[in-house]
Structure 1
Amino acid sequence: MKLSKPLFMASGKRDTSLFNRTSELISFEQHIDWNRILKHDPFKCSQSLICQIAAGAEMKNSAANAIYEFVQYSVENNKKVPSRIKQSFERGLSFNQFNETDYSNCFAHYPLCIYSAKTMLKLLDLHTKLFQPWT
């Protein structure tokens, strides 16, 4: 299902030109169980993170840019993405007015999640370092 208005295509909010859409990545995206993610996220922190990143939080963070690009592509091209994920992304884009604090508008929509995008990205990085097997 295509977005009614692909805001992110015309907005130029983030430079995602560094990301290469490999067939492996596209295959990975098709197998994301978005409903499982939402089911195990009672505080809606995943939606808050998506909203904040789309609103411009952590624009210099490579992980945030990867998440943005991943969600952007999934929202536009994957019919299995739940409407709550799409709404979080579109909401964040609508808040993005190129001000440093635009992402703070997301907090009112996800009041149970007390973490900023910066904190959640640090937690994801820590999780990766602690639990990802050495390769």
Structure 2
Amino acid sequence: MTEGVRIAMRRRDRAFAKFRRDRCDDNWVQFKVARNRCNQMKPAVRWRRILLYDPIQCARYLYCELGAQPPNNEVRQGFIYMLTLEPDEENASAHGVFKEAYDHGRLYPKQCRKKYPMCVFNEKLLFDLIYYLLRHPQM
């Protein structure tokens, strides 16, 4: 989640709290405006940052494995959905790297390990780590 989305959500929550304290039409309109702004924000993925912190190619290996296997749960579907989001100019080339990894997995499902040999973890461990982090977000 980007900082802009967090700020919009905070504004929305404050506007709602203000409406709950003083239930007038003006406060309700302010809340609705803040809510609509928050809902209309486009999600963005910082592909460049992910690529920057992926020297042993585990994120690329993960996307290759996502392409190699069916999206049989919500987490896998969410990662694949991230690829469909239109990247901004800064993240376009890095987005292409992950899209290429996903496409490689779709075309050559048994060759992900060969394409990304630097990642020392297997795909099961990577997904287990993701599931763990999603269940325990505040460490």
- State the Cα distance separating 1:131 from its structure 2 match: 2.8
**Structure 1 position 117 matched with structure 2 position 126:** no
Partner of 1:51: 64
Q: 2:78 aligns with which of 61, 66, 78?
A: 66
- SS of the counterpart of 1:122? helix
Question: Gaps spanning 5+ residues in structure 1: where?
Answer: 1-22, 96-101
Partner of 2:99: 86
Distance of aligned partners of 1:131 and 1:107 in 2 relative to their CA distance in 1, 3 Å threshold? same
Supply the RMSD in Å over aligned alpha carbons.
2.5
- State the Cα distance separating 1:25 from its structure 2 match: 9.0
TM-score (norm 2): 0.59
Partner of 2:3: none
Mapped to 2, the partners of 1:64 and 1:87 lie a distance apart of 17
2:87 maps to amino acid: N
- State the Cα distance separating 1:132 from its structure 2 match: 3.6
- State the Cα distance separating 1:26 from its structure 2 match: 6.9
> Once the two structures are aligned, what percentage of the paired residues are identical?
20
1:89 maps to amino acid: Y
Per residue, is there more helix in 1 or in 2? 2
Partner of 1:35: 48
- State the Cα distance separating 1:67 from its structure 2 match: 1.0
- State the Cα distance separating 1:87 from its structure 2 match: 1.4
Mapped to 2, the partners of 1:110 and 1:25 lie a distance apart of 37
Question: Gaps spanning 5+ residues in structure 2: where?
Answer: 1-37
2:112 maps to amino acid: C
Please list, as runs of the form range in 1=range in 2, the aligned pairs for 1:98-113 lying within 5 A after superposition: 102=109, 104-113=110-119
1:28 maps to amino acid: P
Mapped to 2, the partners of 1:44 and 1:25 lie a distance apart of 33
**Which one scores higher on RCO, CA 8 angstroms, separation ≥ 6?**
1
Deviations 1:74-126 (A, max 9, x none): 3xx3353323112112211212xxxxxx3x41001110112233221110111
Partner of 1:5: none
Between the two proteins, the alignment pairs up a number of residues equal to: 98
